[in-house]
Amino acid sequence: MGGVFIGGDNHGAAAAGAHSRAVVGARPDPLAPVLAAVRRMEAALDAVPEALADPDAALRDVNAIAAATQQDPPDTAAVLAGARRLLDRVTAAGVFTSAARRLREALRTV
């Protein structure tokens, strides 16, 4: 029987043969879409802060979400809680509907 046999435990990429290659793909960050949507929301808040009763609280939520995504490992529970708080603030004001929709869509990926 010819060929190459790779046995045992292999934790990672393995390649054998003249033209073979091993590729290890990075898993996409499930929080990246949430952080991007939060950053869009932040830009909207910066543009029209008077649209909210407490724009400083909304910006604190944005900063808390960003900080939670930078932890190692990311604090998914804190990201989700902060995003929901932020959505409650902007939804109550009836503003930033496009940014809020994008954030809701991003939360579905987590």
CB 80 within 8 A of CB 110: yes
**What does the pLDDT read at residue 100?**
87
Q: Taking residues 97-103, what's their average pLDDT?
A: 87
Q: What is the dihedral of CA 74, 76, 79, 84, to 10 degrees?
A: 180
Cα 75-92-87 angle, rounded to 5 deg = 20
**What does the pLDDT read at residue 10?**
52
Confidence of residue 91 (pLDDT cuts 50, 70, 90): confident
Has residue 4 got a pLDDT over 80? no
Higher pLDDT, 23 or 108: 108
Confidence of residue 16 (pLDDT cuts 50, 70, 90): low
Q: Structure pTM?
A: 0.69
Cα(47)–Cα(55) distance, integer angstroms:
11
CB 62 within 8 A of CB 38: yes
Q: Which residues contact 38 (CB under 8 A, 6 or more apart)?
A: 62, 65, 66, 83, 86, 103
Digit-coded pLDDT (tens) for 39-55: 999 998 999 899 888 99
Cα(55)–Cα(27) distance, integer angstroms:
35
